[in-house]
Chain A
Amino acid sequence: MNNRIKELRARYNLTQEDLAKKVGVRRETIVFLEQGKYNPSLKLAYDIAKEFKTTIEDVFYSENKL
C-alpha cells in the first residue's frame, strides 16, 4: 500500500508530530507510514482520513490497480 500522507500533511501544514498527536499514535508510526513500511489498522486509516477531511481511498492506495 502507498499513501499520500506526506503530501496531505504539507497541504494542511502539519508536522509528523502534529499529525501523530491528532490521531493518537507515536511520531515513529507516522514516519513508518510515510515510508511505506507499515500498513495501518482500519481505525488508524479512518482517523487519518478524517483528520485530512477526505476518504480512506484518497489517502491510501494500492500499487496493483485492476
Chain B
Amino acid sequence: MKREISMIVLSIVVIFGIVLWFSSVSRPIGIGDIILYGCISILVIFALVVAFNRIKAIKAGLPAEDELSTKIKQKAAAWSYYVSLYWWLVIMYFSDKFKLEMNALIGVGLIGMAVLFGIFWAYFNFKGKFNE
C-alpha cells in the first residue's frame, strides 16, 4: 500500500508542478510546451490509474502483483527498450532540423521512452499472449 500511496503523492506533485509552471510562465506557450506537458500529464494519469487499480485489488483481498503482471511488465520493458533505440536514432536525425536545446532533446527522448513503455504495457495487458 505504501508504494501505491507514494505513486499517487508523486503524481499529484508533478501535476501541481505543471499547473504552477503554466500559470507562472511569462513567455508565450508554444506547441512544443503543450506536447511536452501533455505527454507528462498522460504519464501521470497512467500512474494514477495503475495506483488506484492496485489499491482496489489490495482492498478486495487480491495481490497487487502476481506472476502474470510481472511478466507483462518485463515484456513491455524489453520491447520499449528495443523500440526506444530507434526512437533515439530518430531524435538524433531530427535534432539538426528542429534546432532544439540539448536539455529539450534529452527530455523528448526520455518522455518518448516512458510513453513507449506505457503503450507496450497497455498492449500486453489487454491483448498479449503468454502461452508460447
Contacts and interface: CB of A to CB of B under 8 A. Distances in A.
Interface of A: 1, 17, 20-21, 24-29, 32, 36-41, 44
A20 B67 CA distance: 12
Q: Give the secondary structure class of B's interface.
A: loop
Contact size class for B?
A: 10 to 19
A38 B66 CA distance: 13
Given A25-B66, A26-B66, A36-B131, 6 more contacts: A25-B62, A26-B69, A29-B66, A37-B129, A37-B130, A37-B131
A39 B131 contact: yes
A40 B71 CA distance: 11
B130 A38 contact: yes
A52 to B, nearest CB: 19
B130 A21 contact: no
Contact of A26 (B68, B128, B130, B131): B68
Contacts of A24: 63, 66
A26 B129 contact: no
B60 interface: yes
A38 B68 contact: yes
Interface in B60-80: 60-69
B66 to A, nearest CB: 4
Contact of A21 (B62, B125, B129): B62
18 contacts: A1-B131, A24-B66, A25-B62, A25-B67, A26-B62, A26-B63, A26-B66, A27-B57, A27-B62, A28-B68, A28-B69, A29-B67, A37-B129, A37-B131, A38-B129, A38-B131, A39-B131, A40-B67
